[in-house]
Amino acid sequence: MFDSAMILDATLLPAMFIALAAGLLSFLSPCVLPIVPPYLAFMGGVSVGEMDETAAARRRVLLAAVFFVLGLSTVFLLLGFAFSAMGRMFLQFQDWFVLIAGCVVMIFGAHFVGVFRIGFLDRDVRIETGRQGGSAFGAYLLGLAFAFGWTPCLGPILGTILGLAASEADLMRGTTLLAFYALGLGIPFLLVAAFFPRLKGAMAWMKRHLDRIERISGLLLWTVGLMMVTGQFTAFSWWLLEQFPALATLG
């Protein structure tokens, strides 16, 4: 049995919030948001028009979306475990590891802001799984393929969370961060599947402002990288405890 206090403590809380926000930013990225409705419709074996018109179609799509999220969560949890294990192996070099990871995250942030562009981060590598739409198992396979295939495009944001997981150098804590990242990315898929007609307007607005969303994401990434480089996560944790004493009771 593990001690929950080792997982949920003031030091980990900021990273958990960042991981959750990073998952949401990944959903809002230009390589994910535009393909959400057709992707969900394909997984549910319906058309986008049927998602808009019939509750039965949305139920099918929601079931498929649940298994899709389980599939992508499987990959991210495994990545969290692997990077945490790597951080544990190099524990004696943890300070250098965090410094290097922070610098890389700042570079990713500059890419998103538009200071410069890194070519391979603007591409995705999509894995073909055949016509797997319309079944729960097919949706799960598509979730696995999505997590692997879109990793280059999600790289700047996902890389930040993987860097945090590796810097934790603890298997359970690192995997927890990737679980929160998967939640941040997966919950919006479920919301769109369940409430597609009501969310069409909001999604259209977000598509029109993708450039601005990307720049904001880049600024947040750069800030996280700076906090990693300067060791401000601990200070931020104590600040959270001072402002919200109830957090000390977690765990």
Q: Which residue in 170, 166, 152 sits closest to 108, CA to CA?
A: 152
Count Cβ atoms within 10 A of the Cβ of residue 84 and give its class: 0-12 exposed, 13-18 middle, 19 or more buried: buried
More confident residue, 88 or 127: 88
For 57, the token pair is 């179609």
For 40, the token pair is 């969900």
pLDDT by residue (tens digit) across 82-120?
Answer: 878 877 776 666 667 667 777 777 777 776 677 766 665
pLDDT by residue (tens digit) across 204-245?
Answer: 887 787 778 778 777 877 787 787 778 776 666 666 666 666
pLDDT band (50, 70, 90) for residue 188? very high
| Residue 188 belongs to a domain | yes
For residue 246, is pLDDT > 70?
no
Q: For the chain, what is the domain count?
A: 1
For 133, the token pair is 């739409």
Crossing angle between the packed helical segments 232-243 and 210-230, to the nearest 10 degrees: 100
Alpha helices in 90-134 (DSSP H): 94-113
pLDDT for 151: 61
Q: Which residue in 150, 158, 195 sits closest to 58, CA to CA?
A: 195
Q: Is the CB of residue 127 less than 8 Å from the CB of residue 145?
A: yes
Q: Which residue in 139, 128, 169 sits closest to 11, CA to CA?
A: 169
| Residue 101 belongs to a domain | yes
| Residue 251 belongs to a domain | no
The C-alpha atoms of residue 241 and residue 251 are separated, in whole angstroms, by 14
| Residue 140 belongs to a domain | yes
For 152, the token pair is 């280059």
The C-alpha atoms of residue 173 and residue 85 are separated, in whole angstroms, by 11
Domain that holds residue 12: 8-246
| Residue 3 belongs to a domain | no
The C-alpha atoms of residue 76 and residue 113 are separated, in whole angstroms, by 25
| Residue 31 belongs to a domain | yes
